[in-house]
Structure 1
Amino acid sequence: MEGFKKFLFKGNIVDLAVAVVIGGAFSALISSFTKGFIDPLLALLGGQPNLDSLTFTINTTVFPYGLFLTQLVSFVITTAIIYFLVVRPMMSAMRRMNLSTDEKSCPDCLSDIPLAASRCKFCGTVQQDPNVQLPTPSTG
């Protein structure tokens, strides 16, 4: 039971829960943006304001492909917004602050050190060169 409590109260699980809630709210926001602005723009171009009603029929089976198109438009808009309003500004801020993602963790002290380092600057542990492959033991 003690291990379960530690798991529940770890910061990562709380962060994940918050991310899921914010993601759901963001998804609803994008869906309403799609229905309120993108669908009318598509109606100006294509003549049909609501893609959800687009279907085709084979024999007596109806395929509502408009539902897929609506979700596809929503997905593209969501990913574009996340990229341009979250990812790119974060990458730019990291570059300005000289925060490098070219680091690895030392296996002994778990400190972040440059990828090219041959020794850990904190504990002095010799680091394996990622470009050098160690020989595999032969069975013979």
Structure 2
Amino acid sequence: MWKEFKEFISRGNVIDLAVGVIIGGAFTAIVTSLTTNVINPFIGLFLGKIDLSNLVLKVGGATFKYGAFLNSIINFLIIAFVVFLLIKAINRLVKKQPVKAVPDQKQVLLEEIRDLLKDANQK
């Protein structure tokens, strides 16, 4: 069982995934800081409030923290946009390999039958 686990954990995909998760966590912290410390105060200038996370709506005994929800939406949009830009840049750097035409199996079989019939008729 240890050998199987060692093989599983040492495969490239698992290690790449682990690195991606770690970098993603660090990147999320950066984007959260950007949203909280730069973007929200800028938006707050137009709304008359500096901190969006304090925006709440109280209905009866319930408190809806829609400001925190807005922060999460802004964070998501920033992360999605940066990931889009990264993938776009990587696609430009990676050379596209020419796609080799894979012959259709039916076509190959038909050609073999044709060749066999042609050889049989010539004898």
TM superposition score category, shorter chain reference? 0.7 to 0.9
3-state SS of the aligned residue for 1:39? helix
Name the counterpart of 1:20: 21
Runs of 4+ in 1 over 3 A off after TM superposition: 126-129
Q: Look up the match of 1:118.
A: 102
Alignment of 1:24-103 (within 5 A): 24-84=25-85, 86-94=86-94, 97=95, 99-100=96-97
Segments of 5+ residues of structure 2 without an aligned counterpart are: 108-123
After superposition, give the CA deviation of every residue in 1:44-92 in whole Å (9 maximum; x if it has no partner): 21111111111111211111111111000111111112222x1221222
Instruction: Tell me the C-alpha RMSD between the 2 structures.
Output: 2.1
Equivalents in 2 of 1:28, 1:48: separation in Å?
Answer: 23
Higher helix share: 2
DSSP 3-state at the match of 1:62: strand
Larger Rg: 2
Give TM-score scaled by structure 1 length: 0.67
Q: Structure 1 unaligned runs (5+)?
A: 104-112, 120-125, 130-140
CA distance 1:19–1:50, shift in 2 (3 Å) = same
What is the number of residues matched between the two proteins? Answer: 106
- Higher normalized contact order (CA 8 Å, seq sep 6+, divided by chain length): 2
What residue identity is the alignment partner of 1:118? V
Amino acid in the other structure paired with 2:102: S
| Structure 2 letter corresponding to 1:35 | T
How does the TM-score come out when normalised to structure 2?
0.75
CA contact 1:118–1:128 (8 Å) conserved in 2 = no
Q: Match for 1:34: what amino acid?
A: T
Secondary structure at the counterpart of residue 102 of structure 2: coil
Q: 1:118 to 1:53 in 2, by over 3 A?
A: same
